[in-house]
Amino acid sequence: MKRIAVFTSGGDSPGMNACIRAVVRTAIYHKIEVFGIRHGYDGMIKDEFIEMDSSSVANIIHRGGTILKTARSKDFLTIEGRKSALANLKKHNIDGVVVIGGDGSFRGALQFSEICDIPFVGCPGTIDNDLIGTDFAIGYDTAVNTVIDAVDKIRDTAESHDRLFFVEVMGRDAGLIALRSGIGVGAEAIIMPETKTDIEDLIKRLESGRKSKSSKIIIVAEGDEAGGAFVIAEQVKKRLPDYDTRVTILGHIQRGGNPSAMDRVNSSRMGFAAIEALIAGKQNVMIGIIDKKIAYTPFQNAVKHHQRLNPDFVRMLDILSL
C-alpha cells in the first residue's frame, strides 16, 4: 500500500472533514501517499485528483460539509463511466480507496468491484444513521442536536401563543432522527416511516393530554407514509379546529453546522481504522463502531438493511409524553 485515495460521496454530513483529516494523517504516518478526489464518483470519472499532505487538512476538524465536495454521479451508473473511473485510479497508481458516504456510495463501490481490483473501505457518512454495522454514522449526532436546538426555539414561541407545532425532520427511509430528537425535546408524538401513521390515535393523544400544557410538539419524519407534516397537520386541524396549528420544515439546516464532539471523535476513529484496514488487506467493508469498538461490515450487508427502531425508545416515548 503505497498510495491511497479518499473521497466523499452522496449527501454531506457534519464530521466528514474530521474523517478526511484522520485518513490523510494516518496514511502519511504509515508512509503512504494520499490523493483526494473532488466531487465523489463524478470527480473520479473526470480525473479531479489532488495530492494531499498534513497541511491540506489543517483546521478542518471543526468544519461541517466536506472540503472534497460531493456529488451524485449519473455517469458512474454506466459501465463506460466506471471504466473511466478505473482508468483514472490506475493512472494515479492508487492502491486503495476510502469512500466516506452512505447507502448509495457503498452500493456504487460494490458494483465497481466487479471490474475494479483496487480495494475499497468505507466510512459511514449519513445523518439518517440508517446503515447496519455502526451504532452511530458520521453526522447523526450533530443532526439530532441541530433538531433539538431548533425545536427548543420553536417551543418558546409555541408556549407564548398556546400553539400546536408539527416539525418535519429529515428521514426519507428511516425515522431515527425523529425518534431520538423527539425524545430529546419531549415531543407529544413522533411520526416515522417505520410505524403506521394512525391519525385517530394521534387525535386521542392530543385530546387526552394535559390540558394545562400550553404548547405541543409533534415530530414528523419526512418519509412518513401519511405524506409529511403539512398533510398530517391539515388532517388534525380539521378534527381539532380549536388548536392554533403551525408547521415548520427544518430541511437542510440538519446537514450543516459544526460537528459535535461525538461526531468529531467517531469520524476520527473511523478514518484512522480505514487506513489500518487497507494495510491489513481488507476490502469492500464498512468501518463502524459497535459497543464502542471498531467493527467491519461487508458492503453488501451494510447497504441492504436499515436499523430497526429500539422498541424501548418507542415505549419510553409513549410513557414520558403523557
- Residue 102 DSSP class: -
For residues 198 and 82, give the distance between their C-alpha atoms in angstroms, rounded to a whole number: 45
Q: How far lies 316's CA from each of 32, 207, 303, in Å?
A: 49, 20, 29
Containing H/E element for 50? strand 49-52
For residues 37 and 76, give the distance between their C-alpha atoms in angstroms, rounded to a whole number: 14
Q: Which residues contact 290 (CB under 8 A, 6 or more apart)?
A: 133, 134, 135
Q: Which residues contact 135 (CB under 8 A, 6 or more apart)?
A: 288, 289, 290, 291
3-state SS assignment for residue 315: helix
For residues 307 and 138, give the distance between their C-alpha atoms in angstroms, rounded to a whole number: 15
3-state SS assignment for residue 320: helix
For residues 238 and 271, give the distance between their C-alpha atoms in angstroms, rounded to a whole number: 51
For residues 269 and 273, give the distance between their C-alpha atoms in angstroms, rounded to a whole number: 6
Containing H/E element for 120? strand 120-124
Query: Active-site residue numbers?
Result: 128
Phi/psi class of residue 194: alpha, beta or left (left: φ > 0; alpha: ψ in -120 to 50)?
alpha
